[in-house]
Amino acid sequence: MSVGFIGAGRLAMAMAKGFIRAGAVPAENIFASAPDNLVGRAELRNIKELGIHVTHSNTALVSQSDVVFLAIKANVVKNVLEEISPFVTQRHLFVTPMAGITIKSVEEALPAETRVIRMMPNTPLVVGEGATVYARGEHATKHDGEMVEVLLSNVGWCFEGKEEYMDAVTGLSGSGPAYVFLSIDALATGGVKMGLSRQESLRVAAETIQAAAKRVLETGAHPSMLKDEVCSNNILGQSALSAIHKMEAGGFRALLMDAVEAGEDRTKELRRMGEVKNHVED
Ligand SMILES: NC(=O)C1=CN([C@@H]2O[C@H](COP(=O)(O)OP(=O)(O)OC[C@H]3O[C@@H](n4cnc5c(N)ncnc54)[C@H](OP(=O)(O)O)[C@@H]3O)[C@@H](O)[C@H]2O)C=CC1
Ligand SMILES: O=C(O)[C@@H]1CCC=N1
């Protein structure tokens, strides 16, 4: 199976590296199309070092690939689909990770009965971890879905969901790693303020987040119950409860809920951007 990425940006390269590292797709079966303006840029050297094939032609990439990931931004999708449409055949499966862009809009821009799957991954798949939710279009078969699921399961957890939730998934897990990176940085900075070295503090913060996530996944327990395990009820303890009181007073949980909602709202705006040719935001 040959895998192509239209757009050789951050997500595409994370996926390509993740697939190669996991042994899911050999580098020689991976293609990426990068615009001409990448020539001479450091990104192109990094991409070439991966050993994948790089072209400056989206249409050549389509001709070379069985599975085509649309790893571009919403503002160029209309033009790109118009450009490649004459080169699309029944051989192709299109997978779109684009925030906000619906399956229907991709299907309508490509030849009738083109098989399309929409998915929302996240970039930690570069290290073989992460969460991907996908939804099948009208013509994508169960087998197509299983194929995507097997491929993405090499680089994290992947499951089929409903397209109507995909904007919310974008606000939750597509963008989620950024919220967690921010949290790790903030926790580590707190440690530094209390006298730890930056390096130690960062490691302790990252290991703590990883361990807590693992505990949720392995026990299947409600996070509030696990929180109670950490918080001593005894008046002689309560250092965790004192900290949590501060977090609640600062609206910590409401802030994270608002973040997911804001991510979803912006994703819906991106959908409108995708409806216009070469949209440029003011
Ligand atoms: N980054 C993430 O964490 C995630 C991203 N996504 C989605 O993935 C998509 C890509 O995001 P991301 O990788 O972050 O964005 P990037 O901007 O890093 O990558 C997009 C790439 O597309 C290239 N490009 C622009 N126009 C064209 C064209 N006409 N033909 C081919 N390539 C073109 C850009 O080149 P140039 O820079 O030269 O313009 C750039 O390299 C988005 O739709 C996003 O919503 C989904 C989940 C997570
Ligand atoms: O911010 C973005 O556009 C993308 C969508 C999900 C994560 N990053």
Which two structure tokens, joined as six digits, stand for 264? 């979803």
**Has the ipTM of the complex gone over 0.85?**
yes
> Residue ranges of the domains in the chain?
3-166, 176-266
CA separation for the pair 159, 49 (Å, rounded): 31
What long-range pairs does 223-232 form, CB within 8 A, spacing at least 24?
none
Ligand 1 atom with the smallest distance to the CA of 13 is 13
DSSP 8-state code for residue 128:
T
- Say if CB 70 and CB 6 are below 8 A apart: yes
Instruction: Give pLDDT, residue 40.
Output: 62
Domain 176-266, CATH number (from 2.40.50.100, 3.40.50.720, 1.10.3730.10, 1.10.3720.10): 1.10.3730.10
Instruction: Give pLDDT, residue 39.
Output: 61
Instruction: Give pLDDT, residue 42.
Output: 67
- Say if CB 59 and CB 85 are below 8 A apart: no
Amino acid at 226: L
CA separation for the pair 150, 139 (Å, rounded): 19
CA separation for the pair 254, 221 (Å, rounded): 21
Torsions phi, psi for 184 (to 5 deg): -60, -45
Q: Quick one: which of 82, 84, 75 has its CA closest to 6?
A: 84
Task: Tell me if 3-166 shares its fold with 176-266.
Answer: no
Instruction: Give pLDDT, residue 251.
Output: 98
For residue 7, report the distance from its CA to the centre of ligand 1, in Å: 6
Q: What tens digit of pLDDT does each residue of 227-236 get? A: 999 998 877 7
Mean pLDDT, contiguous 10-residue spans, the chain (282 residues): 95 96 97 78 77 94 98 95 97 98 97 98 97 98 98 98 97 98 98 98 98 98 96 85 96 98 97 79 65
Ligand 1 atom with the smallest distance to the CA of 43 is 41
For residue 90, report the distance from its CA to the centre of ligand 1, in Å: 25
CA separation for the pair 73, 62 (Å, rounded): 18
Torsions phi, psi for 176 (to 5 deg): -50, -40
Q: Whose CA is nearest to atom 39 of ligand 1?
A: 35
Indicate the fold that domain 3-166 takes in CATH. Rossmann fold (3.40.50)
Mutation choice for ligand 1 from 5, 6, 11, 172, CB with most ligand atoms inside 8 A: 11
Helix 42-49 to helix 10-22 angle (10° resolution) is 20
Instruction: Give pLDDT, residue 44.
Output: 72
- R_g of the chain, CA atoms, integer Å: 21
Mutation choice for ligand 2 from 15, 167, 170, 181, CB with most ligand atoms inside 8 A: 170
Altogether, the residues listed in the chain come to a count of: 282
